[in-house]
Structure 1
Amino acid sequence: MKKTLISVITSVALVTSLIGCKKDTKPVDVKPGGPVTLRLVMKDEGNSNPVAVNYFKALEKGLKEDEGLDVKIELVDMPEGNYAEKLNLMILGGTIPDIIYFQGGDQQISQQGLLEDLKPYIEKSKNLKSSMFAHNTERINNYPYLLWVKPLSQKAPVIRQDWFDKMKTSKALAENPTIENYYNFLKELKDNPPGGAGKPAYGITVAGSILEIDNIFDMAFGNTSTWLKDGSGKYVYSKITSNEKEKLEFYSKLYKEGILDPQFATKKWDTKEKAFFSGEAGVISGTAGKVIDIYEGKMKKADEGSKGLVVLPPAKGKGQGLGATDVTKETRGVAIYSKSQNKETAFKVLDYLASPKGQMLDRLGFENEHYKVVDGKIELTDKSQEWYARFWEPSEFKPSTPLKSSLLGAPGEKSLKMTEEYYAKDINILIPEQFTAKWDAMQNLYKEYSADIITGKKPISSFDDFVKEWNKAGGEEITKYANENIK
């Protein structure tokens, strides 16, 4: 017993001595009894996803080694279905994680005071403030609850290069992407499939709404911003204008001729992608940059004969672009629960992810799997196209070990350049709380009428009925508000 006691005292003294001699040890932010536990919810990043589990374990390790933060990140699993709806139900039911990724539906939550104002944190941040794009700064100033440091997130259309190269209408589309030339291109895809009989079965597919096809055609039909000035100089909502009527008539033509995916209104993102990679659809839209890069990697994996992807230009007409950039707020992003006991620590995690070491994980993935260090340079592996940043993608990424090549392939790079080339600032307003219910009803009214017009359930003349109903449902009030508040 005496020997054991002496042994224990000696061991403690030795450990104490070693700790005392260790240099540059950072203080660890711990609570009594263990690390700070942060609950986090993010689309597709649950405990059933092994890549997500390994990612957040690596993040915990980096936080402790680089910042002295002892943090345990607990992933909150979400049920299948519409993420925004399921998340709101969970939050309104009283289950609110410390860090929340929103993909819509956040305004209802922020209006209840449940989301933290991030501006003071960003102002004092070590990394995030200097990492933000100009549109991020404008959005956080207008709506300080949601942060998403990414390049402009417009969606760009793509097609397989081997199919593009075979088509007779490709050259005309590339040189002069008028609405007529786009129609001829999509019609050739349907009527003379470049992949052989039935490939593709239709020209273009989208996920559950016309938003992705709008990215190609909206500005060409004159919808260059959410609110447009009419002949009298007053603002009018673009979705009730003659531009919109003309556009819906065009979409109806695409649907009637079998060019537009007949299941466009119900398609989910995964079945949309499956249709593209299997050769069922000719054109698909993906978020510019990394998503386009991932699509190219998936296409090459799905079909060894594929040469990759070609990024198509937006249609040209009354205007041209991939859609105006709304700076009223982020459409998706990360928030912090305002009543969390660990708000400071939660933001430190977000700030670390914008640091050089945090970016090594977030942008590159796992060493020896998504990249290797060869001859003193970072060399991307074939699996790198499967990786995407869970959080931030600042424009400048300068790891301590230099990159051998660009993080993106040629289509990903081209799509990003295209968003910059066609950048246009939107004219829009945040809908105030007193109009939220009416605005939601008006949006649903638009979705109903537009879907019925496109599928032929209603004639194009019913668009005039829609405009009348839209105004009665609150359009007149909100239009008056918009004219008083658009700066």
Structure 2
Amino acid sequence: MKKQLFLCKGYVLVLLLAVCALNLWAQGEKEEEKVIWVTSVQGGREPEENVLFENEVKRLTGVEVSMIKPPSSEYSTKLTAMLATGEPLDIVYIDSSLMASLKDQDLFEPLTDRIEASKVLHDPSIIDPAEWERIRDKDGEIYGVFNKFEQGTLPIIRYDWLENLELEVPTTLDEYYRVLKAFTFDDPDGNGEDDTYGLAVGYSLYDLSSLFGAYGLARGFVKDETGNLYSPYATEAAIPVYEFLARLYREGILEPNFITNKSSNFRDMFMTGKAGMTFYWAAWVGLFNQTVKAERPDSPFKARGITPPKGPDGTIMCRAGNDGLMAIPRVSKHKDAAFKVIEFWHSYDGNILSTLGIKDHDYTFDNGTYELTELGKAHAMDHGAPQPKSLAWVNPFGELEGFEKAAEIVRTYGKPQYVTAYDKQWEEISRAEAAKIILGKISPEEGIANMNKRFEQEGIF
């Protein structure tokens, strides 16, 4: 009897162990089914909101995701390390510069066939087919899907100052000069004080691509007909632009702290009536108007994006933002589910999530009407893609004043920077030498020679 009881207890113990093992296995399988999504931009605006965002993705797609969001300041370093060690990631947000530098390591899954079979991504009414060709690799494959409309930088002007001075919108560099001079010396705000500058910018060359674009000069490095890299800003063709900027500085038209200005500095100068023009992102046309009118409802302030100046041969060009992409690492164990989430991001429901945010948290939807919650207003309709890439997107709240026209200009004349592994060196060297030229410390010819010499010393040429 004792022996039977002992055997019975043994069977029960084995059965319990088996059940526990099965539960642990099932739990592990469930954990493995999650799509691991590494990003610095998509998701909740606060860490605690990421769980709600993950739940919303599952509600809308049926796919369970787990988001990893390293600090923005460390994102590229941490992402590179995760990819290099083969961590089982399924979706990664990566900018085109970093992807270009990692391309030879064969880390990313080709997505061409999936994109071409997608009813969303291959729909020309959603994404312009030319955009796919623009990011197609030299091997014929596409390795990433756009995150959002990256906009671009363009001239932004105090339109009310133009009206006050009865001036027309400038279209050439000569006309730009006359308007900027008038903004500096002709009391455009009518306060009787000599307290304005024509132009306020920062970071030296960062946002001035519209001026170089008048001569067809692209920002960064490009390839010549033999396939070798060179910098258009470091050629003789750029001399007229450097002379134009040096003249603005010499005559007191360019705000003098342009080298040390952070973007917040020149934005504030533009909004507070210290400068009549800046060069910045298209979205800020609307944000400038919204911010000033919220603080000073009676202000005559009118910010407008305007077409960049045309050059001697009629060329017009500005800088389009470099692409942020969603890619699937080759090591991913859930490529189908990962692509489903990426595809969803460009659907209408995905656009709502990437902008307005989480239903019943950031916004409510009742009887066909969207309404932002107080938290949603604070989140400013940005959960990873404040301006979706989809051409079919229509913001249910409308766009901010002036944005649509600015976006149209960028779409028409914007050209993304050609991405290389040497973009950081280009930035540092070009800014430093251009600043010396603008300040009058060296001639444009000397500055251009210095740029090319330093590029060569870096091993780029």
The bucket for the TM-score relative to the shorter chain is: 0.7 to 0.9
Query: In structure 2, what residue type is equivalent to 1:297?
Result: Q
Query: What does residue 9 of structure 1 align with?
Result: none
Distance in 2 (alpha carbons) for counterparts of 1:247 and 1:111: 36
Shift of 1:371: 6.7
Alignment of 1:59-208 (within 5 A): 59-79=53-73, 86-94=74-82, 98-102=91-95, 104-130=97-123, 131-142=126-137, 144-148=142-146, 150-151=148-149, 153-168=151-166, 170-171=167-168, 174=169, 176-195=170-189, 196=191, 201-208=196-203
Distance in 2 (alpha carbons) for counterparts of 1:32 and 1:133: 38
Identity %: 21
Distance in 2 (alpha carbons) for counterparts of 1:312 and 1:99: 35
Query: What does residue 354 of structure 2 align with?
Result: 362
Shift of 1:274: 3.1
Distance in 2 (alpha carbons) for counterparts of 1:167 and 1:381: 42
Shift of 1:245: 1.2
**1:248-289: CA deviations, max 9, x gaps?**
11111222233333333343333343333333333233333x
The alignment partner of 1:211 has SS state of coil
Distance in 2 (alpha carbons) for counterparts of 1:134 and 1:344: 23
Distance in 2 (alpha carbons) for counterparts of 1:466 and 1:107: 27
Shift of 1:324: 7.0
Counterparts in 2 of 1:314 and 1:200: CA distance versus 1, 3 Å:
farther
Alignment of 1:298-313 (within 5 A): 298-304=291-297, 305-313=299-307
Structure 1 vs Structure 2 CA RMSD: 4.2
Query: What does residue 264 of structure 1 align with?
Result: 258
Query: In structure 2, what residue type is equivalent to 1:156?
Result: L
Counterparts in 2 of 1:238 and 1:189: CA distance versus 1, 3 Å:
same
* TM-score in terms of structure 1 length: 0.70
Distance in 2 (alpha carbons) for counterparts of 1:372 and 1:194: 44
Q: Tell whether the 8 Å contact from 2:154 to 2:318 is kept in structure 1 after alignment.
A: no
Match of 1:336 among 318, 328, 331: 328
**1:134-191: CA deviations, max 9, x gaps?**
34211232373343254573322223343332234x32xx2x5221111121122222
Query: In structure 1, what residue type is equivalent to 2:112?
Result: K
Q: Please, which runs of 5 or more residues in structure 1 have no aligned partner?
A: 1-28, 80-85, 479-487
Q: Tell whether the 8 Å contact from 1:189 to 1:200 is kept in structure 2 after alignment.
A: no
Distance in 1 (alpha carbons) for counterparts of 2:427 and 2:378: 39
Query: What does residue 247 of structure 2 align with?
Result: 253
The alignment partner of 1:114 has SS state of coil
Query: What does residue 403 of structure 2 align with?
Result: 412
Counterparts in 2 of 1:73 and 1:451: CA distance versus 1, 3 Å:
same
The alignment partner of 2:249 has SS state of helix
Q: Tell whether the 8 Å contact from 2:33 to 2:334 is kept in structure 1 after alignment.
A: no
Query: What does residue 236 of structure 2 align with?
Result: 242
Match of 1:462 among 434, 446, 455: 446
Counterparts in 2 of 1:278 and 1:361: CA distance versus 1, 3 Å:
same
Q: Please, which runs of 5 or more residues in structure 2 have no aligned partner?
A: 1-26
Distance in 2 (alpha carbons) for counterparts of 1:276 and 1:74: 37
The alignment partner of 2:63 has SS state of coil
The alignment partner of 1:265 has SS state of coil
Counterparts in 2 of 1:454 and 1:366: CA distance versus 1, 3 Å:
same
Shift of 1:203: 2.5
**1:433-478: CA deviations, max 9, x gaps?**
xxx56x8656644333222111222233414633762685589x96
- With CA pairs under 8 Å and 6+ residues apart, which has the higher RCO, 1 or 2? 2
**1:114-146: CA deviations, max 9, x gaps?**
333332332343422323223421123237334
Counterparts in 2 of 1:472 and 1:359: CA distance versus 1, 3 Å:
closer
Distance in 2 (alpha carbons) for counterparts of 1:364 and 1:441: 38
Q: Tell whether the 8 Å contact from 2:39 to 2:67 is kept in structure 1 after alignment.
A: no
The alignment partner of 1:333 has SS state of strand
Distance in 1 (alpha carbons) for counterparts of 2:236 and 2:302: 38
Shift of 1:247: 0.8
The alignment partner of 2:402 has SS state of helix
Matched, 1:393 2:381: no
The alignment partner of 2:68 has SS state of strand
Query: What does residue 11 of structure 1 align with?
Result: none
Counterparts in 2 of 1:100 and 1:179: CA distance versus 1, 3 Å:
same
Query: What does residue 14 of structure 1 align with?
Result: none
Counterparts in 2 of 1:116 and 1:35: CA distance versus 1, 3 Å:
closer
Distance in 2 (alpha carbons) for counterparts of 1:300 and 1:134: 39
The alignment partner of 1:159 has SS state of strand
Query: In structure 2, what residue type is equivalent to 1:358?
Result: G
The alignment partner of 2:198 has SS state of strand
Distance in 2 (alpha carbons) for counterparts of 1:145 and 1:422: 25
Counterparts in 2 of 1:67 and 1:420: CA distance versus 1, 3 Å:
closer
Distance in 2 (alpha carbons) for counterparts of 1:340 and 1:228: 34
Shift of 1:198: 6.8
Counterparts in 2 of 1:69 and 1:152: CA distance versus 1, 3 Å:
closer
The alignment partner of 1:111 has SS state of helix
Distance in 2 (alpha carbons) for counterparts of 1:60 and 1:123: 27
Distance in 1 (alpha carbons) for counterparts of 2:263 and 2:394: 33
Distance in 2 (alpha carbons) for counterparts of 1:259 and 1:78: 36
Query: In structure 2, what residue type is equivalent to 1:417?
Result: E
The alignment partner of 1:299 has SS state of helix
Shift of 1:61: 3.1
The alignment partner of 1:182 has SS state of helix
Query: What does residue 432 of structure 2 align with?
Result: 448
Distance in 2 (alpha carbons) for counterparts of 1:396 and 1:90: 35
Query: What does residue 350 of structure 1 align with?
Result: 342
**1:402-436: CA deviations, max 9, x gaps?**
x5x7x32451121123234446x78x9765xxxx5
Query: In structure 2, what residue type is equivalent to 1:155?
Result: T
Matched, 1:278 2:272: yes
Shift of 1:199: 8.4
